[in-house]
Amino acid sequence: MAKNVVKKIKLQIEAGKATPAPPVGTVLGPAGINLQEFCTKYNEATREKMGDIVPVEISIYEDRTFDFILKTPPTPSLLLKAAGIAKGSSKGANEIVATISKDDVKKIAEIKLPDLNCYDIESAMEIVIGTARNMGIAVKGVTDAEMAEQAAEAAEAEKEAAKLEAELEEMEESAKAMSEGANVEVEVTAQDKETEETAEEAKEE
């Protein structure tokens, strides 16, 4: 008789490095399974993938036993590894932080194909290239020239925006100074001066 699954939990853990400490213990502890047993089995199953983040889907049964299925590493982590960088661009495709080869893309697509919603390697490569673009990672001979042009245009637009912002701040400061009566110069014309002198003479009389 098949056991009933009472809960399914998904985690992303570095291959071969699961421990009962947080975050694994924090998530799985309340489920009541044997944490050390899970960590040992996971680390054995992922030993050959050291250095990768390997997602795992854990099925927990009524008697607190469990099974798990390993998934392919997230595309972003595979791209970061191929590019040799710690993180992608905060500006997306508007900033190139690394360049990888088409062969790198193909290798990643081959790894991800079982988990992607496509049926051939070419479609999988297009998905990987799209993710790379959003991370600021160019693909040599495919997206590098286009992304370089886009990044240059974005840099120029950012420069213009900064200049405009500086001008607006200067205008705001000037308006604020005038409203407070500071640094306001009043030009006295000859007629105004004559009027002031007449008023002074009248006062003396």
Mark whether 95 and 66 lie in a shared domain.
no
What's the domain range around 154? 73-195
Mark whether 59 and 111 lie in a shared domain.
no
Parts of the chain with a pLDDT under 50: 184
Mark whether 116 and 62 lie in a shared domain.
no
Mark whether 26 and 104 lie in a shared domain.
no
Q: Which of 126, 125, 5 is closest to 58 using CA atoms?
A: 5
What's the burial of 117, exposed, middle or buried (CB within 10 Å: 0-12/13-18/19+)?
exposed
Centre a 10 Å sphere on the Cβ of residue 123 and count the other Cβ atoms it contains: 14
- Token code pair at residue 9: 């939990």
So what's the pLDDT on residue 16?
95
Q: Answer whether 33's CB lies under 8 Å from 56's CB.
A: no
Task: Tell me how many domains the chain contains.
Answer: 2
Domain membership flag for residue 64: yes
62-101 pLDDT tens trace: 999 999 999 999 999 999 999 999 999 999 999 999 999 9
Mark whether 158 and 106 lie in a shared domain.
yes
So what's the pLDDT on residue 51?
85
Mark whether 43 and 98 lie in a shared domain.
no
Q: What is the CATH number of the domain that holds 36?
A: 3.30.1550.10
Mark whether 138 and 56 lie in a shared domain.
no
So what's the pLDDT on residue 190?
56
Could you tell me the pTM of the whole model? 0.69
- Token code pair at residue 205: 């009389």
Mark whether 55 and 156 lie in a shared domain.
no
Q: Whole-angstrom Cα distance, residue 133 to residue 149?
A: 13
Domain membership flag for residue 134: yes
